[in-house]
């Protein structure tokens, strides 16, 4: 089996090789070769590589900036997916693609199932939803994994920002009325490999079990980091909970990002871990690398 990984330098992309290499030959490209701002170049790349599976970990993820860079976000998140889908269909390749909880408006109670009504609140969410539609309509075999609150030991993410600020400040305010499940890039990579091994095309939700808020996540991060020996000014009790209304952002975030993962777990025989496991592993990784 030949696998083509696109977006190899992002949070999710960097986690992929360890999980995918055991499945077959892996070829990985970043934006220097696979330029999602030029969708017309992606088809010829796929034609040349002729992969059995395309794993697309590339995306425009600057949620607030997307409000000002609407065309760029749509080109990368939507236009590129149409091109990938068309080329994958031509080459009979399976496409694994990642989408987001931001396709929902967050106004529903409980966890969102795959067939729940979509109503994105932001340019980012709308562009990711459009990418889903274009991939689906291309006719290519595909597995779309919607996930939430993604983080990794590299790149830019909420956990790394909190850990940096915890060394600089003794007090923080963090939003406490947005709910979801922080999802590690390593979990996404592991589930991707499992899905490719026994592919059942379709749309699935992927997130660890349980739920928290940004405030709850920040408190756990600081608690675990301190227990691992990090020299922090910030203590968990120094993190003040505030409503999202007190922390305005250019793009509106959904208040409810809970995703129902029943379909994923039943289809692929996967048992998803608690969200706390990924946070604890992040702290262990940073400590082992001397970056805590």
Structure tokens at 140: 């290519």
Tens-place pLDDT, residues 148-160:
999 999 999 999 9
124 is catalytic: yes
Averaged pLDDT, 253-271:
97
Averaged pLDDT, 61-65:
96
Tens-place pLDDT, residues 226-236:
999 999 999 99
pTM of the model: 0.96
From the options 1.20.1530.20, 3.40.50.720, 3.40.50.410, 2.40.110.10, give the CATH code of 2-155+183-209+258-274. 3.40.50.720
Give domain limits for the chain: 2-155+183-209+258-274
Determine the Cα angle at 136 with ends 72 and 187, to 5°.
75
SS3 (DSSP) at 5: strand
pLDDT of residue 129: 98
Tens-place pLDDT, residues 123-156:
999 999 999 999 999 999 999 999 999 999 999 9
Catalytic residue, chosen from 112, 124, 151, 204, is 124
pLDDT of residue 257: 97
């Amino acid at each position: 089996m030949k696998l083509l990984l696109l977006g190899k330098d992002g949070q999710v992309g960097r986690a992929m090789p360890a999980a995918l290499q055991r499945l077959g030959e892996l070829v990985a490209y970043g934006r220097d070769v696979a330029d999602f701002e030029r969708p017309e170049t992606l088809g010829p790349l796929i034609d040349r590589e002729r992969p059995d599976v395309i794993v697309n970990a590339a995306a425009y993820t600057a949620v607030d900036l997307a409000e000002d860079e609407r065309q760029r976000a749509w080109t990368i998140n939507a236009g590129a997916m149409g091109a990938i889908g068309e080329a994958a269909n031509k080459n009979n390749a399976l496409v694994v693609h990642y989408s987001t909880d931001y396709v929902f408006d967050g106004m529903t109670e409980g966890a969102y199932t795959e067939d729940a009504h979509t109503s994105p609140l932001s340019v980012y969410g709308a562009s990711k939803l459009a990418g889903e539609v274009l991939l689906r309509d291309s006719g290519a075999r595909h597995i779309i994994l919607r996930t939430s609150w993604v983080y990794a030991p590299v790149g830019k993410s909420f956990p790394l920002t909190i850990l940096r600020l915890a060394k600089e400040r003794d007090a923080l305010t963090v939003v406490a009325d947005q709910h979801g499940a922080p999802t590690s890039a390593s979990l996404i990579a592991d589930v991707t490999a499992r899905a490719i091994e026994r592919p059942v095309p379709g749309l699935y939700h992927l997130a660890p079990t349980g739920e928290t808020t940004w405030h709850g996540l920040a408190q756990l991060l600081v608690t675990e980091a301190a227990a691992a020996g990090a020299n922090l000014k910030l203590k968990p009790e120094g993190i003040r909970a505030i409503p999202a209304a007190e922390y305005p952002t250019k793009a509106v975030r959904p208040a409810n990002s809970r995703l129902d993962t029943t379909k994923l777990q039943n289809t692929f025989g996967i048992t998803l871990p608690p969200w706390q496991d990924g946070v604890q592993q992040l702290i262990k990784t940073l400590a082992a690398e001397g970056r805590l």
